[in-house]
Structures are given as C-alpha cells and as structure tokens.
Amino acid sequence: MLTKTELQAIWGRYGFRPEKRLGQNFLIDKNIKKKIVANLDIHPKDIIIEIGPGFGELTSELAGRSSMVYAIEIDKRICEILRAEPNLPQNLTIVRGDFLNLNIKEIAKGKKTVVYGNLPYYITSPIIEKIISEREHIKCAYLVTQAEVAERIVAQPNSKRIGRLSLFVQQFTDPRILFKIKKGSFYPTPQVDSAFIRLEVLEKSRARVQNEEALSRVIKIAYGKRRKTIFNALKATGIGNNELLEILKQAGVEPRARAENLSLEDFRRISDLIGS
Ligand code: SAM
C-alpha cells in the first residue's frame, strides 16, 4: 500500500490532483489496511467488484485472494495511471465508469459476487441502494462509510439514529460495523471519521411482508413526519381515523408512538393490514 509520500510522488509524476467532488480520500494507513484484509471473508472462487480502486490501495490484495476482480473507477486519470502499472494481476479488469451504472448481473454470470469499496462519500446512499436492489447477484458487501452513516445503518428502534436507511438495509441484509477508522488514516484528510462495515445479504427479507413496496411506502410516510405520532403521520395514507386506530391496535402499535419507536416487524404488521 502507498504511504502519503509515495502517493504524492505518483501524483507529482502524473500531475494528478485529488478531486473533492469525486470523494477522493485515499487510504494511507498500513495498519488499517491489514485490519481490513483480516476481516474479509473471501474465497478463491469469488468474483469481486471493487468500487473506486483509486491507486490500488487494496486491489492487488483482493486479486490475490479471488478468481477475478472488476475494479470500477470513474476517474479517467486514475484508470490510466493504474493501467500503466507494470505488474498488474492477470485476474484484474479495470473498468472506467460509474459504479451506479454498472451491470452487476453481467459481471456475476449467474454467481454471487462480493463487493468491496472505500466509498466516495458523496454517493454513499445511492451505492447502498444499488447494492440492495441488485442483491440477487451479491452475497456480501464490505464498505468504508462515514462513521455516522454506519451507525444509522445498524441503528435499532428507540434510538435517535434509526431511520429509513436503517430499516431498508436491515430488511435485506445483516449489517455489522466491523471497526471504526480515524479520519487521519486517509489522505487528503476527510472532515469526519469512518467505519468499516459488512452487509451480508439475507437469503430472505428479514420481515416477511406480503408486499415489499407497500412496506417501503408505509415506512416512507411514517418517517416523512417522524416528529409526529405514528397515528398522525399515517393519516397521510388517506385511511380514516377509526380504521387507522383499528389497524394500529391489531398491529399492536401504540398510536402515540413515533416512527423511531417502531421495529421492522411493527411496520410489517401495519403494512400487511393496510394492504397494497
Ligand atoms: N480505494 C481507494 C482507497 O481505498 O484509497 C480509493 C477510495 S476513494 C474514497 C473513492 C474512489 O472512488 C476514488 O478513486 C474515486 O475516483 C472513485 N469514484 C468516485 N465516484 C465513483 C463512481 N461513481 N463510480 C466509481 N468510482 C468512483
């Protein structure tokens, strides 16, 4: 892995300057790299998709442990620098492009891939949404995110951090914070600390709801007015007061509770009672 001085030397040679708008904060801490590698459960037959390899801080390591790595990098300059590297692993394909437009199904070829990415923070949520919506082709994702986002992802009911992101991610994956990373481990130094997380895709959704879209709609409405009671917030569904009170009663949800007090299972019961 490259130290800050080595990174700066490469940048000097190629006239490269990191772009803030592309979330370019590169890992420069050897101990964190070791810790990341030690936490990866990768098998020799796995296909890995790396989001934003940068200067290959982890890429060779990933290639050495898997059958194939597709490294998706949006920055043309970085792709050129990476491709000029004389000892690129044979099983590495550098793809210049936006991860958000990647055809994961095509890469997976009927198998389940492992996704790795020290994420460009400006698109953390869209990346997580893409991973989840294409989870059929993914078994697990290892991601470096802002520490605050990681905490929101694993948040449980009755905590201030729980929200739509927590429920969405927890409905389809088993999310874990593996460890926190101080902002000084990256260069240029970002504003906030990070966390290394794992999202293990569940075979079946956590809450066995009749209609996933209806569940997501109810959660959206409830969190659209998270300061209101769940009874008042769900009036926006158009359901009359008496019927709504009956639904909440049957779902075992206190009408004066707020969205943040409800579990996925509470939302599932409400959603199934409301219907699609
Ligand atoms: N993997 C390197 C590391 O750990 O040091 C770089 C991580 S840096 C936080 C994010 C990387 O993602 C940058 O190389 C950036 O150019 C790239 N990137 C930004 N937006 C992207 C996108 N939409 N698709 C693919 N790569 C992107």
* pLDDT of the residue at 2: 82
* pLDDT of the residue at 99: 98
Which residue's CA is the closest to the ligand 1 atom numbered 14?
Answer: 54
The whole-model pTM stands at 0.96
Amino acid identity of residue 19, one-letter, is: E
* pLDDT of the residue at 276: 63
* pLDDT of the residue at 86: 86
Compute the C-alpha angle 245/249/253, nearest 5°: 100
Kindly list the protein residues whose Cβ atom lies closer than 6 A to any atom of ligand 1.
22-27, 51-54, 57-58, 72-75, 78, 98-100, 118, 120, 123
* pLDDT of the residue at 149: 98
Q: How far apart are CA 25 and CA 218, in angstroms?
A: 37
Which residue's CA is the closest to the ligand 1 atom numbered 3?
Answer: 26
* pLDDT of the residue at 146: 98
Instruction: Kindly give the pairing relationship between strand 138-146 and strand 113-118.
Output: parallel
Interval between CA 13 and ligand 1 midpoint (Å): 20
Q: What is the tens place of the pLDDT at every residue in 92-129? A: 999 999 999 999 999 999 999 999 999 999 999 999 99
Which ligand 1 atom is nearest residue 120's CA?
10
DSSP string, 155-192: --TTSTT-SHHHHHHHHHEEEEEEEEE-GGGEES--SS
Write the CA distances from 174 to 169, 197, 201, 221, integer angstroms.
Answer: 8, 10, 6, 24
CA-only gyration radius of the chain, Å = 21
Which ligand 1 atom is nearest residue 52's CA?
12
Q: How far apart are CA 121 and CA 195, in angstroms?
A: 12
Interval between CA 118 and ligand 1 midpoint (Å): 7
**DSSP state for residue 235 in the 8-state scheme:** G
Residues of the chain below pLDDT 50: none
